Amino acid sequence: MGGTVVIIIVLAIFPVLMLMTMAGLAAGLGQFLKLTVDAEHEDSELLAVSEAPY
Sequence spans of domains, the chain:
14-54
pTM for the model: 0.63
- Distance of alpha carbon 38 from alpha carbon 14, whole angstroms: 36
pLDDT by residue (tens digit) across 18-37?
A: 999 999 999 999 999 999 98
| Beta-carbon contacts of residue 47 (< 8 Å; ≥ 6 apart) | 38, 41
The pLDDT, as a whole number, for residue 53 is 84
pLDDT by residue (tens digit) across 9-19?
A: 899 999 999 99
